[in-house]
Amino acid sequence: MSCRSAVAILFLSFSVGLSQAAEPEIWELWPGTPPGDVGDIGAEHDTTTPDGRMVAGRRVTRLTNVSKPQLSIFRPAPELDTGTAVIIAPGGGHRILAYDLEGTEVADWLNSIGVTAILLKYRVPARDQNKPWLAAAQDGQRAVSVVRGRAGEIGIDPGKIGIIGFSAGGTPVRYAALVRQRLYGPVDKYDSVPFRPDFAAPIYSGGIPEGAAISKDSPPFFMVITHDDQNRSIAVAELYIALKRAGVSAELHIYESGGHGYGLRPTELPVTRWPDRMEEWMRKLQFLMPRSPEQQ
């Protein structure tokens, strides 16, 4: 065998290993049919079209007909691992999930700063037209309970579990962080595990959820919005004021422009550098502390 062939085989083996290592571990969110789900809504599929909306020059994966909610677990490199985990809820107006823009790309960033990323594929489109937020809220509460209840299986700290959501993905964030009542009946042992996250980050998403109980015991919040994001900036500011009045740790960044739905794809606009601000915030609150050798 030639030297060039041997190198090619080694490179191929290394590449395959990287590909396999990058594959997430998948957990089913519910042991059976999720609460309130009846009937067949059709197969899950990507609705992206060649002429669809682009963000930073790239298409966006737009999943719909999600009836089997799942958690996809992306682990950071061992030498970076902080023991912190963040559940990610993509947006999409409760119709679709922007699965790469506000999901897998966010997971890549979190992994790069030593955080286990857990991508929540929650149910869309909305099941209840009178409460379009309900299925997403239920899936969000359940996600935190399951992740905390199974923390030992993936080596994370059950006291360092956050949740981030974009646009409509802020629904799982707010109903897990600010509502005390579980929005479904218990289905197994994980529903006895608290669903309140240890920190929360609604990104270009705001408003005080129905049934909220904001108090000094609410988790720390990190929020990002732009002034030109329709009236959402007002709702976000109102949430910040409510958190402030209750004595909750909160950080709010309002940028002059940028609109909506930018994810974390970099552009010339300052708002797309918000991940740097969130990393600083997480570091200040000690969620990015290196693990000691005995914790690894």
Q: Per-10-residue mean pLDDT for the chain, 296 residues long? A: 37 35 89 90 94 92 97 97 98 97 98 98 94 97 98 98 98 98 97 98 95 97 97 96 98 97 96 98 96 64
Task: State the CB neighbour count (10 A cutoff) for residue 51.
Answer: 7
280: tokens are 């600083």
8-state DSSP, 75: P
Residue 56 backbone zone (phi > 0: left; psi -120 to 50: alpha; other: beta): left
| Cα-trace Rg, the chain | 19
State the DSSP H helix or E strand holding residue 165, giving kind and residue range, or none if neither.
strand 161-166
What whole-number distance in Å separates Cα of residue 236 and Cα of residue 124? 24
Q: Is 291 helix (H, G, I), strand (E, B) or coil?
A: coil
**Tokens 């994966």 appear where?**
61
Give the type of residue at 242.
Answer: A
The answer to whether 172 and 143 are in contact (CB under 8 A) is: yes
The answer to whether 205 and 170 are in contact (CB under 8 A) is: yes
87: tokens are 């559940």
The answer to whether 178 and 207 are in contact (CB under 8 A) is: no
What whole-number distance in Å separates Cα of residue 218 and Cα of residue 262? 28
Task: State the CB neighbour count (10 A cutoff) for residue 237.
Answer: 15
